[in-house]
Amino acid sequence: MLDGFDDSTSLDDFEHYRGRLQETLDRLILMDDAIHDNEYEEDIPACEEYIDKTKRSIQKASRL
């Protein structure tokens, strides 16, 4: 998502998408917690990968 942004992208757009990514991260963390509480062990690595990618995207957006 953020890879498509460049110098002409407004700060409002960055902040909007950073906020959306934070919401997504929060949901993924809740889902990850629910997975740990249930019998979905095979989904845990994929969920943790999505969480890590989202955290990196948020950090990248915060630096721009």
Along the 64 residues of the chain, how does pLDDT read in single tens digits? 556 677 787 888 888 888 888 898 898 888 877 776 666 677 778 888 888 888 888 888 877 6
Within-domain flag for 11: no
Within-domain flag for 10: no
Within-domain flag for 49: yes
Within-domain flag for 26: yes
| Structural domains of the chain, count | 1
Within-domain flag for 42: yes
CA distance 60 to 46: 21
Within-domain flag for 12: no
**What is residue 36's predicted lDDT score, i.e. its pLDDT?**
66
**What is residue 38's predicted lDDT score, i.e. its pLDDT?**
61
- Residues with Cβ < 8 Å from 14, sequence gap 6 or more? 2, 5, 61, 64
**What is residue 37's predicted lDDT score, i.e. its pLDDT?**
60
- The alpha-carbon radius of gyration of the chain (Å, integer) is 14
Q: What is the pTM of this model?
A: 0.52
**What is residue 39's predicted lDDT score, i.e. its pLDDT?**
64
